[in-house]
Amino acid sequence: MFRLFTSALCLTFAFCTFAAAAPVALQEATATFHQNNFGNVGQTIDGNAVNGGMGFFNNRRSATVIAYETVSDVEGPGQFTFTITQNQFGGHAPQSFRLSVTDADRSTFADGNPPSGAEAPAGDVTVSGANWVLIEPASVISAGGATTTISGNNIITASGANPATETFTITSFNPLGNVTGIRLEALPGPDGFVGRSAGPPHNSNGNAVITEFAADFNAGLTPSHNRMELNIANATATFDQGGSFTIGSAADGVLHGNNGWGVFGQQNQDQTAVFAFDAPIDADDLVVELAYFSGFNAHKLENVRISVTSDANPTATDAGINWEIVSPDEIETTLAGSVGTLQLDESILFSGSNGVPDLHTLIFNSRFEDITGIRLEAFTATGGTVGFPGSNGNIVLSEFRAFATPHIPEPASVLLLSLAGLATMRRQRST
């Protein structure tokens, strides 16, 4: 069985002076949604920060994922500066968003949207098996004076001032040695929209507009160990209703749309889902996200519990798998009025608003070794069903996602790696 540690390893690194920032050229803009009557995702990197861009109107109550390729590799440690600009339709700045980077081969993602403006296949922005690593913001500045907050899983949310035009500037250290792509997730905020639905001073219809997206990079020594999205190789469940509502639909990379894990017909019974990884994971923390972006109100899981295993090839129907229940240190929700409470049996009871969209985030600040899968237990609760009271008690879990911070080597190994990094930098400077 895997071992669980509660101690943390703290490390101190020396930082070098940054060189001048250089623009990062981007190409092959690809999105899971296009607002057909306004712009397209390609206009977010056309160099025009005044006009054009892309909107989210018909998908403004759900998530849109955008992926860009870097024209050339962004190499070595250093600091990124990202800017997200909105210069049209007053009060249409994105409300909640998150950034990540990858070192995957460019042929595996961001192939551009079809000429018709239709959405891209999910694989073009998720890259199954790729090393997507969340950007941990060092700073977030709103040019329009909005208040920005950062959640435990690196989601940036703007509140307060809602100016006619806006630019968000996000700085972050590069978590990878080589970056080939950047991913931007536009997520529904506390009021359920990707854009602000109210001021002050500007009111909008919940839509958002991104006029221009840009990135700069400062080279320098800045080791980083941000959370990596874990690749789910196999998803199984004790039951799913079929069609577009299978357990596989909860691990297909599609964060929006009329699909996800549904259990209609057996929603009055406890259910179990298991998400197996493509390789064992050693991690210094674990984050589980339950996304509800389908548009079906009252279709969220009410009472859930998380377990992990190190057994090979775990499935939901294999009674021989050894599971270890884990208790979250933090529970976050994104929809205003939605609350998660830890119970005595280490399950989490969600209450309050039963509306969607909502994103439930469970953060486990512990050390894990050799994890091969995660079990999600869905219990019947107050209404006698696995879903929230109201509607028909069913669920539509749009997406299950897991993230982890790769385990940092022991101190002696870290010292050797640091010295190797310094030697590499000296070689680079001498050329």
Report pLDDT for 34: 81
Pairs from 45-50 (Cβ < 8 Å, separation ≥ 24): 45/212, 45/213, 45/214, 46/212, 47/212, 48/211, 48/212, 49/85, 49/87, 49/211, 49/212, 49/214, 50/87, 50/211
Q: Tell me how far apart the alpha carbons of residues 94 and 168 are, in angstroms, rounded to a whole number.
A: 9
pTM: 0.87
Report pLDDT for 431: 40
Q: b/e per residue, 236-248, with b = 16+ CB within 10 A?
A: bbbbbbeeebbbe
pLDDT digits (tens, 9 = 90+) for 167-205: 999 999 999 989 999 999 999 999 999 998 877 777 678
Report pLDDT for 2: 39
Helix, coil or strand: residue 340: strand
DSSP state of 146: E
- Which has the closest alpha carbon to 138: 201, 212, 63, 78? 78
**CB-based burial of residue 411 (10 Å sphere; 0-12 exposed, 13-18 middle, 19+ buried)?**
exposed
Calculate ∠ Cα 380-382-385, nearest 5°.
35
HSE-CB of 315 using CA atoms within 13 angstroms: 8
The two most distant CA atoms of the chain are separated, in Å, by 69
Residue with tokens 């469970």: 362
Q: Tell me how far apart the alpha carbons of residues 202 and 36 are, in angstroms, rounded to a whole number.
A: 24
Q: Tell me how far apart the alpha carbons of residues 425 and 221 are, in angstroms, rounded to a whole number.
A: 8
Report pLDDT for 410: 59
Q: Which residues in the chain come in under a pLDDT of 50?
A: 1-18, 412-431
Domains in the chain and their CATH numbers? Answer: 22-219 (2.60.120.260), 230-406 (2.60.120.260)
Report pLDDT for 128: 60
- Which has the closest alpha carbon to 217: 74, 408, 107? 74
- Which has the closest alpha carbon to 336: 101, 146, 159, 82? 159
Helix, coil or strand: residue 279: strand
Helix, coil or strand: residue 41: helix
Q: Tell me how far apart the alpha carbons of residues 346 and 350 are, in angstroms, rounded to a whole number.
A: 13
| SS percent in the chain: helix, strand, coil, step 5 | 10, 40, 50
Beta strand 212-219 with 78-86 is antiparallel
Q: Tell me how far apart the alpha carbons of residues 111 and 67 are, in angstroms, rounded to a whole number.
A: 9
- Which has the closest alpha carbon to 92: 214, 212, 196, 200? 196
HSE-CB of 66 using CA atoms within 13 angstroms: 28
Helix, coil or strand: residue 157: strand
At position 315, the amino acid (one-letter code) is T
* Tokens linked to 369: 């070794």
At position 136, the amino acid (one-letter code) is E
pLDDT digits (tens, 9 = 90+) for 297-334: 889 999 999 999 999 999 999 999 999 999 999 999 99
At position 24, the amino acid (one-letter code) is V
Strand partners, 232: 277
